[in-house]
Amino acid sequence: MKKVIAAFDNGHYSEGMMQFASELNKKEPILLVGAFLPQVDYASLWSYAAANIADGVYIPLVEPQTTEAIQATIHHFETYCRQNNIRFAVHKEYFDFALPELKKETIYADLLLIGSDLFYSQAGVDLNDYLKEMLHHTDCPVLVIPEKSAFPTNNILTCDGKGASIYAIKQFAYLFPELASQPTTLVYANPETNHQIPGHDSIMELIRCHYPKLNEVHLDANGKKFFNTWVSEIRNPIVVAGAFNRGDISMIFKKSFMTDTITSHRLPVFIAHK
């Protein structure tokens, strides 16, 4: 059993996230913890927290959120869990919190689900920076789930040969061995040359231990330009990516790459960092 946090923003209920959680529960039972965030300005939430989280400063609400709206969302969450045989919990203290409490909660969780479209729309133009800030303030992997997407039947592992991408690939396999058995494509690129990434043979040796239906695609130095066209032809994919490290963003994960991948195709994206 895994402990999974489902984060709801601004009293909005995410059908897509709950359907995804239900499918996870069918494959292996989970404890789904509902985290109900008050209305905040998500475009500035993470950067604000980066400067103030150490002091325990709370993010001010944009406008008061009614208790009735949050209670209605909680009721919907609880009803869905009961109807779909999902073990669940609701943490009432989420009424008054923003990022500091969510960060604290992720210490004690296996996975954080982000599912409402409002997270996308309020993240601002540069979604990549939004996700990058979020990852630096969570202590478990994050799964970003579009409101309308099928449960994944194909895995896309993105790799640049560095530790962050390898770590994410391992974490995905550890958390979801049942998904790792699905058809999987390793997409890799060498930031310096058009040749294989350093340690290619060792990387493939490791990955084949966890992903039995594996094939690989090598992008050249300009390959990221064609990634979104290629991925649109994959049936029900989920993308696995390493963290967006400060000052160490690989060629394949520059701003336009992951932002376009998420916003253009609305793909589930699994992101993990150490």
The CATH number covering residue 218 comes to: 3.40.50.620
The answer to whether residue 149 sits within a structural domain is: no
The answer to whether residue 112 sits within a structural domain is: yes
175-226 per-position pLDDT tens digit:
999 999 999 999 886 555 556 777 888 999 999 999 999 998 877 655 555 6
- The Cβ of residue 217 has, within 10 Å, a number of other Cβ atoms equal to 13
Report pLDDT for 99.
60
Q: What is the pTM of this model?
A: 0.81
For residues 15 and 139, membership in a common domain is answered with: yes
For residues 15 and 133, membership in a common domain is answered with: yes
Report pLDDT for 128.
46
Q: How sure is the predictor about 76, in pLDDT bands with cuts at 50, 70 and 90?
A: very high
The answer to whether residue 140 sits within a structural domain is: yes
Structurally, the chain folds into a number of domains equal to 2
For residues 136 and 9, membership in a common domain is answered with: yes
Mean pLDDT computed over 142-169: 89
Two tokens at 35? 């985290």
Residues 144, 128 contacting (CB under 8 angstroms): no
Q: Higher model confidence: residue 51 or residue 194?
A: 194
**Is 63's pLDDT higher than 70?**
no
Mean pLDDT computed over 144-150: 85
Q: What is the mean pLDDT of the chain?
A: 76
Two tokens at 34? 């509902």
Q: Among the residues of the chain, which ranges form H helices?
A: 15-27, 42-52, 67-83, 99-106, 117-121, 127-135, 163-175, 177-180, 200-210, 224-231, 255-265
| Highest averaged pLDDT of the listed ranges 7-11, 62-66, 203-207, 251-255 | 203-207
Q: How sure is the predictor about 262, in pLDDT bands with cuts at 50, 70 and 90?
A: low
Report pLDDT for 248.
36
Residue 237 amino acid letter: P
For residues 140 and 80, membership in a common domain is answered with: yes
Domain residues for the domain of 203 are 154-272
